[in-house]
Structure formats: C-alpha cells, structure tokens
Amino acid sequence: MTSTTCEVGCETSLSTGPLGADEAVRLAAMFKAVADPARLRLLSIIAAQEEACVCDLTGPVDLAQPTVSHHLKVLVDAGLVTRDKRGKWAYYAVVPGALDALGAALRTR
C-alpha cells in the first residue's frame, strides 16, 4: 500500500483499499466543510492567493464579516486553512497538502 503524508501529518491512502475509521472521519469533516457554497468559494479565493485577510474576503462572497469569520472557522477546524492573527486582523492560508488529500480521496476510491 502506498501512502503520502501532508505537512500537517495527515495521511491519505493512494491505494484502492477501504478507508480506515480515522481517515474517514478526517476526510468527512473536510468534505462537509467544503459542501457549503460560501465556504467553497472562500477556500478557492484563499487558494488563489498566498494568504487572505478576512477583511478582503467579505466583498467577493457578499457576506457580512461575522458570517465570513464563522465560515473560516469551519475551514480551520476541518484542517483546510490556517489562521494567523496579526494585530486585530486574521490572515488565512490553505494548509499545504490539504486540497491534495481531498483530491486523492476522490481519485482513488
């Protein structure tokens, strides 16, 4: 069985074998997070840049700052983005390997 480990320590099987319980829970949380259209759009905006400030994300998705912050928290909790607090602003970046893990799960199952 061949596997790969992303920078945050997650492991995604590249075989066609069944998912383990822990991997299924981790991937389900990631897929649940991106199943919301607003979160999927936020993730794509962040992925298109090196990082994004919450103040720069409200306009493109036409949502209020508290709503965007909630969606970003869900993405952080799912392990898809990181949050870096600088003063009163928070900056978000895609976790290296997280999107690859989702893609690998879809390609090999």
Q: How much is the pLDDT for 2?
A: 38
Domain membership flag for residue 13: no
CATH number at residue 72: 1.10.10.10
> Residues 10, 97: contact at Cβ < 8 Å?
yes
Domain that holds residue 49: 18-102
Domain membership flag for residue 109: no
Domain membership flag for residue 34: yes
Band of pLDDT at residue 108, cut at 50, 70 and 90: low
Share of the chain above pLDDT 70, in %: 83
Structure tokens at 108: 């090999």
Q: Which residues contact 18 (CB under 8 A, 6 or more apart)?
A: none
Q: What is the pLDDT of residues 47-69, one digit of tens each?
A: 999 899 998 999 999 999 999 99
What's the mean pLDDT in 56-84? 95
Instruction: Name which residue leads in pLDDT, 96 or 106.
Output: 96
Give the global pTM: 0.77
Domain membership flag for residue 3: no
Q: How much is the pLDDT for 39?
A: 96
Q: How much is the pLDDT for 68?
A: 96
Domain membership flag for residue 43: yes
How many domains is the chain built from? 1
CB half-sphere exposure, 89, CA atoms < 13 A: 9
